[in-house]
Chains A and B, each alone.
Chain A
Amino acid sequence: MEVLIKDLGLLINAILIATPPLLLAALGSCFSERSGVINIGIEGMMTIGAFIGACVAYFSGNGWLGFFAGGLSGAILGVIHAVACIQFGADQTISGTAINFIGPGLAVFLCKAIFDNSSDSPALDTASKLPKLFDGMFPSGSFGYNVFSTYIVAYLSFILVAVVWFVFYKTKFGMHLRAVGEHPQACATLGVNVYRTRYICVILSGFLAGLGGAFVTLATVSQFRPAVIVGQGFIAIAAVIFGKFKPQGAFKACLLFGLCNGIKALLGAGNAVSPNLVSMIPYVVTILALVFVVGSTRVPAANGKPFLKAR
């Protein structure tokens, strides 16, 4: 029994650490997709966030500073994506692909330029990482330690789901962002500023993806490596689709995918079930969801369609 509780604690801990980066990025993706701009550049935005987060935390010794710097760097890529897609009407998938070249390329480029041609950043000491809740209150390895005493940001990211839900469905801005993703022409005729709304959403998606990336280096991994994100940005996108483009739906999907990542982390190497097969689960599940519940997955009507004003 005791072992079981301990194992359960370990699993919950693994989920608590694996979910927040997906969740932050997925919430970001919700903003962008619902406002009508496809953002497959989430992966690149997470990668730059992961590097800038680790780098700023390394030099400042402040995890929080690194975390927000990571968010800002993602937001800057968000600005590029937004300008290309909203101002210039670029193909959103192509622009996103470009972001996925530029983000990781820039991250490793800067890493090599700053850290003496090494593609890995130096390991962060505990003080430079993100702080934990109730630090030192529970004995290390106990159930309480595993469940209640992990990174504050992990708990905040869960609270953020409720905040984003509130913004989406209970505020004026949320109504505008959902409306511009469905019928931008109608919004323009009613004086709703389509460009501004979309800009805010795309930049916000970059910011949240950057935060997600920074969480990986500032909590989970403790340093930047080129392969530190691999695929998490795409899992986040999968979660949004799986969650029918709703923040609450994306949350459930992220928990499920976080569980996959958690199991993978616990399994480690040399187990009966290959971690590679576990890694496939989010993608396979999303495909199955698209196939079997496609009728109820309504993609925002204006998603992917540039809105250009004739003057």
Chain B
Amino acid sequence: MSKKNGILSSNAFYTLLSIILGFIVGAILLSVAKINPLEAYRQLLKGIFGKPKFMIWCLIYAAPLIFTGLSVAFSFKTGVFNIGAEGQFVVGSLTACVIGILIKAPAIIHIPLCFIGAALAGGIWGAIVGLLKIKKGVNEVLSYIMFNWIAFYLSNFIVNLTVIHKESGGEATKDIADTARILAPKSIIEATGASAANWGFIIAVVFAIIVWFVINKTTLGFKLRAVGFSNTAAQYAGIDTGKSFLTAMAFSGALAGIGGAIQLMGMSGRISQFSGQEGYGFQGITVALIASSNPIACIFAGIFYGAMKYGGSKLSLVNAPSEVVDIIMGVIILFIAISSLFRSIFLSHGKKGAV
């Protein structure tokens, strides 16, 4: 295969192309809204790279997205489409919040307790869907969607319970105990000026490496991938496919759940009543797609999305609606989704050229 075809068949090329097309569509929309796209994009870049503080904030935003990205990427590798990361994220964050408020313990115990609670909650949320799939044959995409909304209203219900609801004003819970926060030391926060600087990003990177190792280097990963690619052949080879699906879906859910805990314990410190879905799970789908389901690439795709979210929030400075980020991301997913066809078009043209 020629070098040219090598590039034309690589995922990275189409992802890059999709990202560029996303920004082009965004620019067109901004122009239609009579906003200079160059100015808006310059503001976006300034909002990301303008100060070291901004870059720290991008990493803070990236951490939960890397987790939901890993959750979805892991599910893709194992033959499931975890469109339920949204709900698993919510129950994870909710569980960590309840533990963070109601339990009193030193940080060394409190923090792991919150993480374990979140991982269990997300894992169980995913495993229920897995059980419905393998025991009752219920299509997992449908039940994931339903469970997203059940989590959504469950969170709103619990947020309003008196034991954890904020005493006065605001539709939110109390703040979780300081012993349950994962904030960076005061000196770092003061030095960087990022008030929510926390260990989330570091934890996310560690988990990305763990997930990569599990998928590619272990017998468990071998089993899950075999089932993911062909559950019929895996079953024929003696692999318990039901158990594999269940493991994969629970594991994927746990990752999203931990993401919820990271967001709560690192950034927000409390949960507000939702008016609409927060979208971390759906954004995780984008992260996984941009990363072509590679766990290590999820780190970078997560940073990209985190930066876009953080930088996007500064767009109001030039009167540009920050929602342009959602549109750009939607367009990127759409182009990645149809890129397999691009590929065959480009490759067949490439072949003709070579003949």
Contact flag (A, B; Cβ within 8 A): yes
**A binding-site residues for B, Cβ under 8 Å:** 38, 40, 80, 84, 88-91, 93-95, 97-102, 104-106, 108-110, 112-113, 117, 226-227, 230-231, 234, 237-238, 241, 274, 276-277, 279-280, 283-284, 286-287, 290-291, 294, 299
Query: B337–A95 contact, CB under 8 A?
Result: yes
Who on chain A is nearest to B345 by CB? A88
* Separation of A45 and B341 alpha carbons in the complex (Å): 25
* Separation of A299 and B139 alpha carbons in the complex (Å): 10
Query: A287–B330 contact, CB under 8 A?
Result: no
A-B contact pairs, 16 of them (CB 8 A): A88-B341, A89-B341, A90-B337, A94-B333, A95-B337, A104-B326, A106-B323, A108-B323, A231-B277, A234-B148, A237-B142, A238-B145, A276-B153, A277-B153, A286-B146, A287-B143
Q: Which residues of B contact A280 (CB under 8 A)?
A: 149-150, 153-154
* Separation of A38 and B132 alpha carbons in the complex (Å): 20
Q: Of A84, A110, A283, which is within 8 A of B338 by CB? A: A84
Q: Which residues of A contact B160 (CB under 8 A)?
A: 274, 276
Query: B334–A290 contact, CB under 8 A?
Result: no
Query: B277–A91 contact, CB under 8 A?
Result: no
Q: Of A84, A94, A108, A287, which is within 8 A of B289 by CB? A: A94
Query: B146–A113 contact, CB under 8 A?
Result: no
**In the complex, per-residue mask of B131-153: 1 if CB is within 8 Å of any chain A CB, else 0:** 01000111101110111111011
> Nearest chain A CB to B330's CB is how many angstroms away?
3
Q: Which residues of B contact A38 (CB under 8 A)?
A: 141
Q: Which residues of A contact B154 (CB under 8 A)?
A: 276, 280
Apart from A90-B338, A279-B153, what are 9 other A-B pairs with CB-CB below 8 Å?
A88-B338, A94-B289, A100-B282, A101-B327, A105-B324, A231-B277, A277-B157, A283-B150, A287-B138
Query: B326–A89 contact, CB under 8 A?
Result: no
Q: Which residues of A contact B326 (CB under 8 A)?
A: 101-102, 104-105, 109
* Contact-residue size bin, chain B (C-beta under 8 Å from the other chain): 35 or more
The 4 closest A-B pairs by CB, nearest first: A101-B330, A105-B326, A102-B330, A113-B33
Query: B282–A40 contact, CB under 8 A?
Result: no
Q: Which residues of B contact A234 (CB under 8 A)?
A: 145-146, 148-149
Query: B323–A105 contact, CB under 8 A?
Result: yes
* Separation of A149 and B329 alpha carbons in the complex (Å): 44
* Separation of A291 and B319 alpha carbons in the complex (Å): 49
**B binding-site residues for A, Cβ under 8 Å:** 29, 33-35, 81, 83, 132, 136-139, 141-143, 145-150, 152-154, 156-157, 160, 275-277, 282, 285-286, 289, 316, 319, 321, 323-327, 329-331, 333-334, 336-338, 340-341
Who on chain B is nearest to A308 by CB? B341
Who on chain A is nearest to B145 by CB? A234
* Separation of A227 and B274 alpha carbons in the complex (Å): 10
Who on chain A is nearest to B139 by CB? A299
Q: Of B33, B138, B316, which is within 8 A of A290 by CB? A: B138
* Separation of A290 and B327 alpha carbons in the complex (Å): 33
* Separation of A294 and B137 alpha carbons in the complex (Å): 8
Who on chain B is nearest to A106 by CB? B327
Query: B337–A91 contact, CB under 8 A?
Result: yes
Q: Of B132, B139, B333, which is within 8 A of A98 by CB? A: B333
Who on chain B is nearest to A95 by CB? B337
Q: Which residues of B contact A279 (CB under 8 A)?
A: 149, 153
Q: Contacts A93-B83, A98-B331, A108-B323; is A287 near B146 (CB within 8 Å)?
A: yes
Q: Contacts A93-B83, A101-B327, A277-B157; is A227 near B337 (CB within 8 Å)?
A: no
> Nearest chain B CB to A194's CB is how many angstroms away?
17
Q: Of B83, B136, B142, B323, which is within 8 A of A112 by CB? A: B323
> Nearest chain A CB to B346's CB is how many angstroms away?
14
* Separation of A219 and B63 alpha carbons in the complex (Å): 41
Q: Which residues of B contact A101 (CB under 8 A)?
A: 282, 286, 326-327, 329-330, 333
Query: B276–A230 contact, CB under 8 A?
Result: yes
* Separation of A261 and B136 alpha carbons in the complex (Å): 29
**B81, B153, B277, B340 — which one has the most chain A CB atoms within 10 A of its CB?**
B153
